[in-house]
Amino acid sequence: MNIILGICGSIASYKAATLVRLLVKSGAAVKVVMTPDATHFITPLTLSTLSKNPVLVEYANAQTGEWNNHVELALWADYLVIAPASANTLAKMANGLCDNLLTAVYLSAKCPVYVAPAMDLDMWKHASTQANVGRLQSYGNILIRPGYGELASGLTGEGRMAEPEEIAALLDGEIRKKLPLSGKKALVSAGPTYEAIDPVRFIGNHSSGKMGYAIAAELLRNGAEVTLVSGPVSITAEPGIKVVRVTSAAEMLEQMSAHFPAADITIMNAAVADYRPATVAGHKIKKNDEEFSIPLVKTTDILANLGQLERGNRLLIGFALETEHEEENAIKKIRKKNLDFIVLNSLQDEGAGFKGDQNKITIIDRELNKVTYGLKSKQEVAHDILIKILEVMA
């Protein structure tokens, strides 16, 4: 997402540093355009460091003669945000004046434009300012209303620029509305399960959870509301993902079953134990005998259990990790577990597997359409899975 942040001459310009940081942290590419007066309040160096892009102030570089093309800048932007917007710049925008680079970019913009005014109480309340704001709104520009509080003049009232966190949250909400999974709820499982033998020992596996966490992050980035049911792992989920932590297969079954009815998309990526000890010792088992055996009983097949439930148009996606007869076994799982498609991993592929950062998959759907992908990062694999989800939903 490309965002131009316009900054005008105002004491509130210091807030722009935090706003840039929040926008970049959210994944946006940010370019800052300042009015000449804005440079008296905050330095271009600060903003270029935070945005990781040169800050533009003038139409052209006086030393090189290089032109800062306002038309190209406006076409590059998905959003133009002017924060703080001074009374002077609001008047120029409302009346089509462009005596600096920022107002020229504004007049060239085809993207949504947000203005966050910042000025003293009397300036904000003045009839001319209110008329200019009304005219800008009639052009389709979106007003981020100033807040109430103590102002630089010492007065108390309306005129404070909205806080950077408010502006970033507003933009995030507007951006997410346009994402392909906006309004959809996704449920993802990840990681291993641990099945207790006694208070200190368990049966487990080598799953790191990296693939499931990457899928959850990809779904979130594309607008979904994501719940991640995670077995014991050492990684952290992206901010915005609701994480439900579990340990055993029984706990994962309980949580997946509880969240499944509300989910539009369910992806069962966790490496759930197929068996658990029939009984769990209350104390640590002593190593007295040369041989030791543990009776095991089957755990509930969570994916098959979910596949038997009524789900309408909601998607159910499984994973299969196979070491032999890979495709044959994967196809059996599609039919047996009533899946929309399955993601097949093979431990035969060098570089792919549980603990690494790469994976190699084949996606097979219920019509037995098959696509095999090369070895990729788990983030890229998550994107390939997203593309298939969007294809099936369409």
| Domain 185-393 in the same topology as domain 2-177 | yes
Q: Angle 201-203-205 (CA atoms, 0-180°, nearest 5)? A: 125
**pLDDT exceeds cutoff 70 at 48:** yes
As a whole number, mean pLDDT of residues 63-68 equals: 78
Please write the tens of the pLDDT for every residue from 216-247: 999 999 999 999 999 999 999 998 899 999 99
Is 205 a known active-site residue?
Answer: yes
Please write the tens of the pLDDT for every residue from 249-301: 999 999 999 999 999 999 999 999 999 999 998 888 888 777 888 999 999 99
Are residues 54 and 48 in contact, defined by beta-carbon separation less than 8 angstroms? yes
Helices and strands, counts by H and E, the chain: 13, 21
Positions at the binding site for CTP: 274, 284, 319, 333, 337
Alpha helices in 222-375 (DSSP H): 249-259, 302-307, 326-337
For position 245, what pLDDT does the model report? 97
Q: What residue ranges do the domains of the chain occupy?
A: 2-177, 185-393
- Please spell the DSSP secondary structure of 112-149, one letter per residue: -EEEEE---HHHHHSHHHHHHHHHHHHTT-EE---EEE
Are residues 283 and 317 in contact, defined by beta-carbon separation less than 8 angstroms? no
Please write the tens of the pLDDT for every residue from 335-363: 999 999 999 986 666 655 666 788 999 99
Whole-model pTM: value is: 0.76
Positions at the binding site: 274, 284, 319, 333, 337
Please write the tens of the pLDDT for every residue from 124-145: 999 999 999 999 999 999 999 9
**Residue from 68, 88, 205, 338 carrying the catalytic annotation:** 205
Q: What is the CATH number of domain 2-177?
A: 3.40.50.1950
Fold category of 185-393 in CATH: Rossmann fold (3.40.50)
For position 353, what pLDDT does the model report? 60
